[in-house]
Amino acid sequence: MKTLIDTLRHHHELKPAQYRALLMTRDSQVVEYLMTQAREVAQAHYGTGIYLRGLIELSNMCRNDCLYCGIRRSNRHVSRYTLTREQVLACCEQGYKLGFRTFVLQGGEWGEERSQWIADLVSDIRRGWPDCAITLSLGEHPRETYAMWREAGANRYLLRHETHNERLYGLLHPRGMTIGHRLQCLEWLKELGYQVGAGIMVGSPFQSLASMVEDIQYLVQFKPQMIGIGPFIPQHDTPLARFPAGSVDMTARLYAIMRLALPWSLIPSTTAMATLSPDGRLRGILAGANVVMPNLSPEDHRKQYALYDNKAALGAESAQGIQALDNELSTIGYHIDWSRGDSPNW
Ligand code: SAM
């Protein structure tokens, strides 16, 4: 098994059965070896610095109805909000003072009639903080919309593909949403010159090892600059409320595998990791992740962006808790890297 990990480290690819063996193994020494190799590769490329992204949860209004998501359209228990332009700019102002050099605007998916409003907002942020990266994570849109936002000054786009497997995609999403269209969006984003992030939820209902292997293979072939992977966590008002959460261990294995497959990628240790376990964020970093995305949203709206139950938004997960985060990182020999943190092979 260690030979497999060495092969992945040096050739950046394995056969499907070999990925499967790495995901399945119960041998703790093999898992530890995988983590050590991933850490070494992350440190060889990025040192022990962890990049920060300031997450601004723009709106929980969504036209989609993804079965796992707490802000899905048909969840009537959500009190809906959209930040005003002034509120978003105030988040950027505060974030910039705290030292953030990337702002991530994430939200539910809106209709195209609001796309110009987003473009204007992106232009305002670009003008106000010209040295910062602007990342959007606003779902699926026509190519022209992505082009308009890019033109307005957006640099990066996060759009998890969620699962590459067509059948599983169908089980997690309403009729009308297809993996084919999701992948098409990712292609457009890449063509338009965005730094692109793709990725999955780990342990989502009906997911199999085979589908995870398919996801690894897709990511290896698509080569996104950013890889967003987090455990599935149930939300009590969704149709998938009764399913168990995914595991921190399996998510960490995927971070490690992706770090070895795509050494230069930017991999966040996600909020869902921190939500599931007090040491989840650090375990992600020890598996080769090199990004953390503290929450910069106005505090009175954070509870309304409840994608899943008990979502962490305070302490080291919040922009205001940045010192706590730095302290936490220092316990494992890491520190915050305050630079903008673009992928160097970009
Ligand atoms: N609307 C945009 C989109 O679909 O890409 C961005 C917002 S969406 C809420 C951001 C991510 O949250 C999704 O890509 C999904 O992977 C994650 N998410 C949603 N519900 C989740 C859950 N129950 N557990 C874990 N992650 C979840």
3 state DSSP class of 197: strand
Dist. CA 307 → ligand 1 center (Å): 7
Tell me whether residue 116 is in a domain: yes
Is 346's pLDDT higher than 60? no
Structural domain of residue 37, as residue ranges?
2-20+30-327
Query: What is the CA(69)–ligand 1 centre distance, in A?
Result: 6
Closest atom of ligand 1 relative to the 307 alpha carbon: 20
CB 231 within 8 A of CB 203: yes
Taking the centre of ligand 1 as the mean of its atom positions, its distance from the CA of residue 31, in whole angstroms, is 28
Q: Is the CB of 272 under 6 A from ligand 1?
A: yes
Residue 335 is assigned to a structural domain of this protein: no
CA distances from 1 to 42, 254, 258 (A): 21, 16, 17
**Does 11 map to a domain?**
yes
Pocket probe for ligand 1: among 105, 149, 160, the residue whose CB has the most ligand atoms within 8 Å is 160
What digits encode the pLDDT tens for the residues 128-176?
999 999 999 999 999 999 999 999 999 999 999 999 999 999 999 999 9
Whether 340 is in a domain gets the answer no
pTM beyond 0.85: the answer is yes
The reply to whether 332 falls in a domain is no
Q: Is residue 46 part of a domain?
A: yes
In this prediction, what percent of the chain has a pLDDT beyond 90? 95
Whether 81 lines ligand 1, by a CB cut-off of 6 Å, is no
Q: Is the CB of 201 under 6 A from ligand 1?
A: yes
pLDDT, tens digit (0-9, with 9 covering 90-100), for 326-337: 999 999 999 999
Q: Give the model's pLDDT for residue 345.
A: 60
| Number of compact structural domains in the chain | 1
Mean of per-residue pLDDT scores for the chain: 96
Answer yes or no: is 271 within a domain: yes
Nearest by Cα to 247 from 217, 277, 291: 277
Distance (Å) from CA 277 to ligand 1 centroid: 19
For 71, 183, 188, 237, the CA distances from 141, given in Å and listed in that order, are 18, 12, 10, 26
pLDDT tens-digit series, residues 53-70: 999 999 999 999 999 999
Q: CA 286, CA 302: separation in Å to the nearest integer?
A: 28
Does residue 141 form part of some domain?
A: yes
For residue 71, give the CATH number of its domain: 3.20.20.70
What are the angstrom distances between the C-alpha of 155 and each of 58, 94, 100, 277? 17, 21, 15, 32
For residue 344, pLDDT beyond 80: no
Q: Among residues 287, 335, 334, which one has the least CA distance to residue 38?
A: 287
